[in-house]
Structure 1
Amino acid sequence: MAFLAAYALRVLVRGLPDGLGDLCLAVTLAAWALFAVDYTVRWRLSGQRLRFVRTHWLDTVVLALPLLRPLRVVKVYEAVQRRHGKPRLALHARVIAYTGLSTLLLGFTGALAVYQQEHNAPGTTMKSFGDAVWWTCATVGYGDVAPVTPLGRLIAVGVMMTGLALLGAVTGTFASWLFQAFTREDDERPPGS
């Protein structure tokens, strides 16, 4: 959260005093360094080498995109539940929790990143953070707000690809849940009915 807050302050607050701007940059870099140290220590202690990267894919993604670090909240919640002897969230609930948090984080961080690139660009239609949020929510394209810089467009491609992946995860999970519900219902019926 400190990383996200420091990054948001650097992007959104115009005329940020130099000292506060430097502090935000230091917090951002320190948080990223802590993520890297945490990941490296857990990787070394696991003894799994490349298997660790595959089995801890969320941690690997968070190392590359630290703005998604709050997604680990679901994992922490599950660990606390298990420690207190309570059952884990069902697979469907975990997928919904991850995709819900991912969607919120993707929207906010995508809007921040594209706004950072676009707000001062010549010919921009993204003059405010509100415009960037609107663009993120309507990224399929109404066309009234669109990135004009190469880096802004690259960020747009990333937001769209991640959004499609999240949509696929939700759709697949919902279809799986329906299939299981109908199968369970068929199994509970008496034969010949």
Structure 2
Amino acid sequence: MDDDSPLARWEQSTEIPLFAASVVFLAAYATRVLATGLAPLWRDLCAFVLLVIWVAFVADYAVRWRLSGQRFLRFVTGHFLLTVVVLLPLLRPLRIVPLYEVIQRRQGEPRLSLYARVIAYASLSTLLLGFSGALATYQQERGAPGATMTTFGDAVWWAASTLTTVGYGDITPVTTAGRTIAIGMMACGLGLLGAVTGSFSSWLMQTFTREGDAGPPRK
């Protein structure tokens, strides 16, 4: 039986609009970082859009907390990802799993298998973290004394090598904020790589097990 609580109804009605708002937030932030020749009016407009969307995220967080009926600290610890995306709005698209559940709720069982969903989610998360991390780090690094990250292309290359745990070392952040972002990306890269590898290995074992149980074809 579907959950018909006020919290569930709120989540179902707001998840899609807030996901769309998160995409707008990411686009506005990218515009401010990459469009260096942008007119002051448009830069102010982007800043205003970022502020309005962030306020909407905070309001959504507050409503979910009140509807949950939990104490604040318990709600924070029990909704870790939701808390993180309020503090770091660039990561809001990571909530694609609740979005997927909302879309599929009216269509019965999910169309994708568990392994496919994990791999797809981890892949999308890697792309999002790479792009967001490259933007945030590039904003901190450009113009810094001794910076090796001089273009956004450098930032994307650095983000890719960091998330994949390769770490060539040809481009490294020199600012405190850039290194802090790098630490988070390293941790996320290890987790996502482990999720994809583990899911793929489990899928292979399950496939081989089914083939072994089936046995050779009878004559």
Q: Which amino acid aligns with 1:143?
A: G
Aligned-residue offset at 1:150: 1.5
User: Over residues 143-177 of structure 1, what are the superposed CA-to-partner deviations in whole Å (9 max), with x where a residue is unaligned?
Assistant: 22111111111111111111111111112222332
Structure-2 residue corresponding to 1:23 = 45
In the alignment, the residues of structure 2 paired with residue 188 and residue 47 of structure 1 have an alpha-carbon distance, to the nearest angstrom, of 51
Aligned-residue offset at 1:59: 2.1
In the alignment, the residues of structure 2 paired with residue 84 and residue 51 of structure 1 have an alpha-carbon distance, to the nearest angstrom, of 32
Aligned-residue offset at 1:54: 4.9
Task: Give yes or no for contact 1:118–1:149 (8 Å, CA) kept in 2.
Answer: yes
- After TM superposition, the structure 1 stretch with the greater mean CA deviation from structure 2, 89-98 or 117-126, is 89-98
Identity over aligned residues, as a percent?
A: 66
In the alignment, the residues of structure 2 paired with residue 91 and residue 176 of structure 1 have an alpha-carbon distance, to the nearest angstrom, of 11
1:130–1:54 CA distance, 2 compared to 1 (3 A): same
In the alignment, the residues of structure 2 paired with residue 93 and residue 65 of structure 1 have an alpha-carbon distance, to the nearest angstrom, of 27
Q: Is 1:114 matched with 2:137? A: yes
SS of the residue aligned with 2:65?
helix
Partner of residue 10 from structure 1, selected from 32, 41, 45: 32
In the alignment, the residues of structure 2 paired with residue 53 and residue 185 of structure 1 have an alpha-carbon distance, to the nearest angstrom, of 45
In the alignment, the residues of structure 1 paired with residue 133 and residue 169 of structure 2 have an alpha-carbon distance, to the nearest angstrom, of 17
In the alignment, the residues of structure 1 paired with residue 111 and residue 70 of structure 2 have an alpha-carbon distance, to the nearest angstrom, of 25
In the alignment, the residues of structure 2 paired with residue 137 and residue 87 of structure 1 have an alpha-carbon distance, to the nearest angstrom, of 31
Q: Which amino acid aligns with 1:68?
A: L
Structure-2 residue corresponding to 1:162 = 188
Q: Is 1:69 matched with 2:92? A: yes
Structure-1 residue corresponding to 2:54 = 32
SS of the residue aligned with 1:138?
helix
Partner of residue 132 from structure 1, selected from 150, 155, 159: 155
Structure-1 residue corresponding to 2:126 = 103
Aligned positions of 1:42-81 closer than 5 A = 42-49=64-71, 52-81=75-104
Structure-2 residue corresponding to 1:175 = 201
Q: Which amino acid aligns with 1:27?
A: V
User: Over residues 57-100 of structure 1, what are the superposed CA-to-partner deviations in whole Å (9 max), with x where a residue is unaligned?
Assistant: 33233222211222333432332222033535322122112211
Q: Which amino acid aligns with 1:174?
A: F
Structure-2 residue corresponding to 1:153 = 179
Q: Which amino acid aligns with 2:60?
A: D
User: Over residues 111-170 of structure 1, what are the superposed CA-to-partner deviations in whole Å (9 max), with x where a residue is unaligned?
Assistant: 001100111111111111001111111223222211111111111111111111111111
Aligned-residue offset at 1:187: 4.6
Q: TM-score, normalised by structure 2?
A: 0.77
Q: TM-score, normalised by structure 1?
A: 0.87
SS of the residue aligned with 1:177?
helix
Aligned residues: 190
Task: Give yes or no for contact 1:62–1:69 (8 Å, CA) kept in 2.
Answer: yes
- After TM superposition, the structure 1 stretch with the greater mean CA deviation from structure 2, 35-44 or 64-73, is 64-73
